[in-house]
A and B are shown apart, each in its own frame.
Chain A
Amino acid sequence: MYDGGKIITGLIIGIGLIAFPIWLNAGKAVKKADPKLPAKEKQCVEPTQYMLTNHMEVLDLWRDSVVRLGDRYFISFDGKKYRVSLQNTCMSAECHPKKKEFCDECHDYMGIEPYCWDCHIEKGEKK
């Protein structure tokens, strides 16, 4: 083929760059996600399986509810009344107070960085 040498070289460099994450991490095992569950509270605002797959939707719905509709209370599927607030309910001392021990575990594993905590602060967060 025309310019065969250049094409093959280009292909090797290109594929090498694209596959960079694969051959850089080859052989290494990533630490399994191990979120620290709350000590006393056993039930979240929704069933655990639903929260695992849909917590993003729940939070999105919650934020519109609070800010745009002004509805700040919520009755969960098991009849408990909760205040609709990421900071004050989800991240309360009884549930998931430490982002690093809970939220980050799965997010880091999946390689995603939601920016919720740019604004929503942990209680007792260092200044």
Chain B
Amino acid sequence: MAFDRRKFLKVSGLSVLGLWAKSAADALAGEKPGFGITEKLLHLFRKPVGFASADALTAKKWAMVIKVRNCPTDCHACIDACDYVHNIPDAEKMPSPRHEIKWIWQDEYKHAFPDQQHEYVEERLKKLPFLLLCNHCDNPPCVRVCPTKATFKREDGIVMMDQHRCIGCRFCMAACPYGSRSFNWVDPRPYIEKQYPEYPIRVRGVVEKCTFCAERLAIGKIPACVEACQNEAKKHGREPALVFGDLEDPESEVRKLLRSHYAIRRKPELGTGPQIYYIV
């Protein structure tokens, strides 16, 4: 027989191995992040799509500096803005607090920096709100462990989420040393205060987190939290707390701030290289 079942199985098996071998080679060679062999194969036979907008905000390394002194204790404009533009369900409405979704949230100094906590911490610091979010690490453990590359690091430094691909294994949640990731334990739809029509909702069964508003950067807008902070600060005649920019641009505001202030990061000893800097 020219091409029988045996031969077919042999060929299929070798093809799968070949696919994996190439993927391994890609991974070792440091291919374009998030775009592996299967994506390339699929796009071989279809017309290439797309380009980035001319007015997209680009950078070599996006980072955020948080000037904690400028955060008033009762302000949560950034959290509200993020929750709104990303259709994040209202934690208080959800069946259980353990199901909450949070991309950016507030906590005390002793929880933000538990290793720096001691009895005689400055009183001011004890009361200051610390904003916590995904650190978009240089060396992210979550990206290392994701079995499907559903979370991957972009060339501009953003650790991105592909909700289409996530299988909900939650390995990334175990790997993240900062507790930045949330999982959709239930369908979030009924608990969303007001739907924001330009951004999708997530389905139950996938992980999500802050993406530095990649969808806004692509159309020339700064992250929602930063914009909300700037608006709120202007309204009350004070300095904004959240500063966003390109660390590899020596003239960016974030670089200037880091040059002139001492900044701390969360759990730097773990080697993750977090890109959220706190000026305390």
Q: Write the residues of chain A forming the contact surface with B, with a CB cutoff of 8 angstroms.
A: 57, 60-75, 83-84, 87-88, 115, 118-125, 127
Contact = CB atoms under 8 A, between A and B. Distances in A.
B51 A71 contact: yes
Majority SS of interface residues in chain B?
A: loop
Given A67-B164, A71-B49, A72-B53, A119 B201 contact: yes
Contact of B34 (A62, A68, A120, A125): A68
Contact of B50 (A71, A88, A120): A71
Interface string B187-210: 000001011011111110000000
Contacts of A67: 160, 162-164
B218 interface: yes
B195 A70 contact: no
B49 A123 contact: no
Contacts, number: 83
B214 interface: yes
A118 B192 contact: no
B49 A115 contact: no
B49 A65 contact: yes
Contacts of A119: 163, 200-203
A125 B163 CA distance: 21
Contacts of A125: 195, 197
Contacts of A63: 164
B238 interface: no
Contacts of A65: 49-50
B49 A61 contact: yes
Contacts of A62: 49-50
Contact of B39 (A64, A74, A87): A64
A61 B46 CA distance: 8
Nearest to B162: A67
Contacts of B192: 127
Interface residues of B, number: 34
A11 to B, nearest CB: 30
B152 interface: yes
A61 B43 CA distance: 7
Interface in B110-147: none
Interface string B160-201: 101110000000000000000000000000001011011111
Nearest to B211: A67
B52 interface: yes
B219 interface: yes
A73 B163 contact: no
A123 B199 CA distance: 10
A124 B50 contact: no
A71 B50 CA distance: 5
Contacts of B164: 63, 67
A83 B49 CA distance: 11
Contact of A57 (B46, B87, B162, B219): B46
Contacts of B60: none
25 contacts: A57-B46, A60-B42, A61-B42, A61-B46, A63-B164, A67-B162, A67-B163, A68-B160, A69-B34, A71-B49, A71-B50, A72-B53, A73-B51, A74-B49, A74-B50, A74-B51, A84-B49, A84-B50, A87-B198, A88-B198, A118-B201, A119-B200, A119-B201, A125-B197, A127-B195
A2 B194 CA distance: 68
Contacts of B42: 60-61, 64
B219 A72 contact: yes
Contact of A121 (B49, B162, B201): B201
B125 to A, nearest CB: 38
A119 B199 CA distance: 9
B67 to A, nearest CB: 29
B219 to A, nearest CB: 7
Interface string B207-239: 000000011001100000000000000000000
